[in-house]
């Protein structure tokens, strides 16, 4: 299977693939199963020998945490539909009950595969001097050190609990890890069922003292606790134990008409912590009576209790990745700083005035975005700053810059999205920090999330106001910007600045814009702009002109947009899609989608940027193509229930960078690519023996981007497209 979409022609649909009616629900893949397929690809990277050993363990850990979150949110929602008797069917025509049966079956297979991957990785780690040990292999020195740890750190925060009518079963928090015990009193043989919640303040795997032989050893916390049960339950002996982890419904329900949105969210967060238990993981070799006891107390159905033959809580394996084994991880990468900013002695406003500038994170440093805000905060000519904040880091330098600007007397408006899942509490805290500094904080709409990534800096220049705008595909989060691939565009073009101002007026004052010339937004204009772009390509195809679309996103699952893609394929438009995660579109179906290819890239960096390029009658690549970057995936929620941006790129250098570098490298990638098949399976790209497959990540780490180059020019910033190479 070849995954080089850039240099290979679209294949004709396979003759053994059955046609599908454009009206049949079979034209869509199931959303939940498609997500599980993505997590299978993540887990498969744990078995990929091309990856360093620690990175393989990290992929396995991520696949575990991904699966837990999937059950916390998506599966919890389906179960709520079943309890409420909701009859609504998914796009692919399935009821919630039918979906649950398929989800559980596939998730259970995935969980078994995760344990198999760990069984493969564990001895490989041991070969490299990283060991998971049991209590039987501890030395005298180990026991002495563990005595200090247990009595000095762990024992004070343990709460042993009997389980009987006088001691009701305690509340187990979401992701809570516990040890259920069947004990016998030594004095008279009486039985006791007990519970020991494992404190989250202590690492799941205890690193033992080094012995000076370059060996790293870990002891599971549950083994440590079992060693000291005589101290926790004096006079008792353990007859059986059951390690378990609870997953709970973590979705939020907020009253739309809440007068005080912050207080309402604080209440909802408390409800989340006590959400309904939806899944229970237990170790397979535990006594049946203990398993059933826990399931009964948590009101878990038998089919939601999963027996694990291996590590309960595969996500915790990420704790094994120690810094003192750097040879087992990827070599650290140092992001580049744009030369154009250095040419202007660090003056970002001067660099933007020269021409629009595009940063490609993490290959180019997010520090430039931070410095843009810092410079704005300290510039006496800046009069106002407006910014959306969906997710950011703890102690964010972005928030500090906004606070500094507000304290300096500048007009600062921060739109903080309280509904950013799992970041609600952090966003409540940062909103209060901003308000204390004097910033105007707003929370947008109660029924729509504001997911757009926009910053406006208004600066007084020569007696007039100039707006410097930043648009991003990712969050204002310096930490995730080290591993997420995203685009950041800086511009002082009046059209973009005016649209940014209208968008802020919309989210702060509900002043819906009548039109936007450069930045259409969801849920008003964005979906229509995408479908109109596809319809224009259809017209080009009908007129005999070359018609082509390139697009990149995290997820694709919106019925109207998928049907528009099908219509374009039927009209002869060639469409190449890079969709990292969920994809509801079925490619390669005769008469429906034979002109559509879909690939997923899973590798060192998390693909996160959203891009669409319309050939505009000349095919791709082309200087005449219409090129956009976006904060939105092509999902129902993004296009119909969120405030999102679609930013048209008009600067020739930025335009070329997106087409000839970013999209071209993603389309050409084979090292990290999986190609979606008509039946919903993904085939990993394979080459000839000893062939070095092209890696888009390696390309971006090695070569500079076009728009960030300064006086030295862009001669060493290669373009991958044939047209661009021929022109040079």
- Per DSSP, the three-state class of 440 is strand
| Distance of alpha carbon 576 from alpha carbon 568, whole angstroms | 12
DSSP run (H or E) holding 631:
none
What is the SS3 assignment for 198? coil
Q: How far is CA 569 from the centre of its chain?
A: 29
Report the alpha-carbon distance of residue 488 to residue 492 in Å, rounded: 14
Q: Which is the catalytic residue, given 131, 360, 361, 451?
A: 451
Of the candidates 182, 204, 206, 177, the one whose C-alpha atom is nearest the C-alpha of residue 192 is 182
Preceding amide of 362 cis, omega within 30: yes
Gap between the Cα atoms of 614 and 633, Å rounded: 17
Q: Known catalytic residue: 470? A: no
Q: What whole-number distance in Å separates Cα of residue 699 and Cα of residue 662? A: 10
- CA-to-CA distance for 489 and 480, rounded, in angstroms? 18
| Selection from 654, 692, 640 nearest residue 524 by Cα | 640
Handedness of CA 272, 278, 280, 281 (dihedral sign): negative
φ/ψ of residue 433, rounded to 5: -65, -40
Q: How far apart are CA 368 and CA 374, in angstroms?
A: 10
Structural tokens at position 420? 């950013």
Alpha helices in 299-454 (DSSP H): 339-343, 348-354, 367-378, 397-407, 424-437
8 A C-beta contact, residue 297 and residue 270:
no
Indicate left, alpha or beta for 14 from its phi (over 0: left) and psi (-120 to 50: alpha).
beta
| Three-state DSSP class for residue 452 | coil
- What's the 3-state SS for 595-607? CEEEEEECCCCEE
Distance between CA atoms of residues 345 and 336, nearest Å = 16
Q: Provide the residue count of the chain.
A: 728
> How far is Cα 607 from Cα 42, in angstroms, rounded to an integer?
12
Three-point CA angle 173, 179, 180, nearest 5°? 105
- CA-angle at 725, arms to 723 and 727, nearest 5°: 70
**Residue 654: which of 517, 455, 493, 489 has the closest Cα?**
489
Decide the pairing of beta strands 177-185 and 191-197.
Answer: antiparallel
The sign one gets for the Cα dihedral 478, 483, 486, 491 is positive
In three state form, how does the secondary structure of 580-593 look? CCCECECCCCCCCC
Contact status, residue 584 vs residue 28, Cβ threshold 8 Å: yes
Q: CA-CA-CA-CA torsion for 378, 383, 389, 394, nearest 10 degrees?
A: 20
Q: Show which residues are catalytic.
A: 451
């Amino acid at each position: 299977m070849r995954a080089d979409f850039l240099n290979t022609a679209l294949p004709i649909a396979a003759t053994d693939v059955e046609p599908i009616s454009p009206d049949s629900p079979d034209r869509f893949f199931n959303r939940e199963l498609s997500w599980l397929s993505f997590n299978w690809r993540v887990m498969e990277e744990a078995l990929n020998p091309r990856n360093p050993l620690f990175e393989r363990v990290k992929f396995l850990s991520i696949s575990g945490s991904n699966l837990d979150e999937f059950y916390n949110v998506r599966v919890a929602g389906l179960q709520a539909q079943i309890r409420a008797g909701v009859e609504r069917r998914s796009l692919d025509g399935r009821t919630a009950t039918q979906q649950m049966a398929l989800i559980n079956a596939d998730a259970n297979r995935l969980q078994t595969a995760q344990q198999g991957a760990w069984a493969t990785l564990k001895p490989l780690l041991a070969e490299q001097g990283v060991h998971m040990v049991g209590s039987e292999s501890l030395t005298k020195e180990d026991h002495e050190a563990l005595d200090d740890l247990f009595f000095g750190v762990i024992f004070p925060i343990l709460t042993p609990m009997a389980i009987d009518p006088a001691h009701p079963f305690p509340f187990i928090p979401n992701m809570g890890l516990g040890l259920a015990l069947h004990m016998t009193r030594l004095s008279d043989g009486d039985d006791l069922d007990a519970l020991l919640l494992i404190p989250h303040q202590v690492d799941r795997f205890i690193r033992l003292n080094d012995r000076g032989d370059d060996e790293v050893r870990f002891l599971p916390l549950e083994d440590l606790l079992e060693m000291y049960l005589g101290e926790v339950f004096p006079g008792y002996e353990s007859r059986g134990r059951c390690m378990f982890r609870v997953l709970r419904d973590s979705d939020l329900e907020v009253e739309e008409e809440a007068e005080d949105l912050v207080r309402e969210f604080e209440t909802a967060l408390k409800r989340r912590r006590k959400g309904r238990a939806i899944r229970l993981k237990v170790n397979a070799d535990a006594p049946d009576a203990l398993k059933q006891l826990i399931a009964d107390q948590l009101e878990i159905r038998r089919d939601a209790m999963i027996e694990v033959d291996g590590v309960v809580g595969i996500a915790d394996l990420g704790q094994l990745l120690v810094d003192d084994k750097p040879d087992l991880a990827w070599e650290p990468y140092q992001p580049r700083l744009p030369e154009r900013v250095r040419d202007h002695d660090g003056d970002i406003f001067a660099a933007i005035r020269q021409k629009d500038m595009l940063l490609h994170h993490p290959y180019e440093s997010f520090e430039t975005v931070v410095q843009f805000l810092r410079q704005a905060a300290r510039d006496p000519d800046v009069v106002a700053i407006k910014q959306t904040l969906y997710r950011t880091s703890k102690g964010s330098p972005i928030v500090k810059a906004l606070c500094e600007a507000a304290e300096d007397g500048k007009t600062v408006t921060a739109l903080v999205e309280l509904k950013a899942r799992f970041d609600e509490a952090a966003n409540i805290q940062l909103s209060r920090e901003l308000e204390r500094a004097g910033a105007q904080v707003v929370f947008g709409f109660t029924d729509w999330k504001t997911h757009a990534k926009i910053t406006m800096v208004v600066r007084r220049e020569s007696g007039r106001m100039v707006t410097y705008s930043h648009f991003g595909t990712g969050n204002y989060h310096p930490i995730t910007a080290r591993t997420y691939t995203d685009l950041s565009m800086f511009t002082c073009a009046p059209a973009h600045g005016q649209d940014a101002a209208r968008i802020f007026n919309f989210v702060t004052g509900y002043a819906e814009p009548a039109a936007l010339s450069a930045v259409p937004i969801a849920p008003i204009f964005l979906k229509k702009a995408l479908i109109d772009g596809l319809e224009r390509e259809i017209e080009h195809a009908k007129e005999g002109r070359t018609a082509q679309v390139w697009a990149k996103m995290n997820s694709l699952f919106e019925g109207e947009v998928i049907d528009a893609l099908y219509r374009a394929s039927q009209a002869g438009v060639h469409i190449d899609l890079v969709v990292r995660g969920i994809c509801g579109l079925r490619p390669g179906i005769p008469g429906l989608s034979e002109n559509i290819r879909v690939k997923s890239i899973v590798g060192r960096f998390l693909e996160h940027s959203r891009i669409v390029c319309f050939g505009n009658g000349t095919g791709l690549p082309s200087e005449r193509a219409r090129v956009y970057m976006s904060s939105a995936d092509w999902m129902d929620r993004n296009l119909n229930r969120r405030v999102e941006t679609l930013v048209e790129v008009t600067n020739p250098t930025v335009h070329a960078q997106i087409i000839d570098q970013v999209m071209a490298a993603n389309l050409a990638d084979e090292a990290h690519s999986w190609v979606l098949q008509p039946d919903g399976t993904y085939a990993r790209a394979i080459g000839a023996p000893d062939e070095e497959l092209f890696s888009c990540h390696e390309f971006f780490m090695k070569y500079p981007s076009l728009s960030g180059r300064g006086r030295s020019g862009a001669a060493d910033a290669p373009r991958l497209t044939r047209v661009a190479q021929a022109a040079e």
